[in-house]
């Protein structure tokens, strides 16, 4: 049981490292040039705050042994669900200005209307 727990802990640490790298790359793709480094910096601050709070969550284990796992699992699931709301950036150019981001958002929000072929070809 001890080896299984250690193996799962190491796997978890590797997954955290990969996720940390991917989030930094994605943040750079998501924000326009004028805000890019500010956004990456804020992401780093949030990551460091999480790293500081992590050991404090372990102290909850003194009240109930499963409580830290419950907190970590809840944060993990909520983070995963929240990441599903982020926009897709594949094959899109990096935005240079805030106006570029607004234009991309407006393009996605505009309803796609299909014109009926009969209506399109009819002339009055």
Average pLDDT of the chain, as a whole number: 86
Residue 124: is its pLDDT beyond 70?
no
Residue 96: is its pLDDT beyond 60?
yes
**Within a domain: 52:** yes
Tokens 């955290």 correspond to 16
**Within a domain: 109:** no
**Within a domain: 111:** no
Residue 11: is its pLDDT beyond 80?
yes
Q: What is the pLDDT of residues 112-121, one digit of tens each?
A: 666 555 555 5
Range of the domain at 28: 2-86
User: Taking the model in full, what pTM does it have?
Assistant: 0.68
**Within a domain: 118:** no
Q: Could you give the number of structural domains in the chain?
A: 1
**Within a domain: 93:** no
Number of continuous H segments (helices) and E segments (strands) in the chain? 5, 0
Give the residue from 4, 6, 3, 8 showing the smallest Cα distance to 73.
8
Quickly count: other Cβ atoms within 10 Å of residue 4's Cβ: 8
**Within a domain: 9:** yes
**Within a domain: 39:** yes
Q: What is the pLDDT of residues 32-79, one digit of tens each?
A: 999 999 999 998 999 899 889 989 999 999 999 889 989 988 998 998
**Within a domain: 17:** yes
What pLDDT score was predicted for residue 10? Answer: 93
């Amino acid at each position: 049981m001890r080896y299984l727990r250690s193996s799962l802990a190491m796997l978890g640490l590797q997954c955290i490292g990969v996720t940390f790298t991917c989030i930094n790359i994605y943040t750079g793709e998501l924000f326009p040039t004028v805000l890019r480094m500010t956004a990456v910096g804020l992401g780093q601050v949030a990551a460091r705050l999480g790293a500081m709070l992590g050991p404090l969550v372990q102290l909850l284990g003194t009240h109930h042994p499963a409580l830290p796992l419950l907190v970590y699992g809840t944060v993990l699931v909520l983070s995963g669900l929240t990441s599903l709301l982020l926009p897709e950036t594949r094959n899109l150019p990096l935005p240079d200005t805030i106006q570029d981001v607004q234009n991309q958002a407006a393009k996605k929000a505009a309803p796609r209307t299909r014109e009926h072929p009969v209506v399109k070809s009819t002339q009055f």
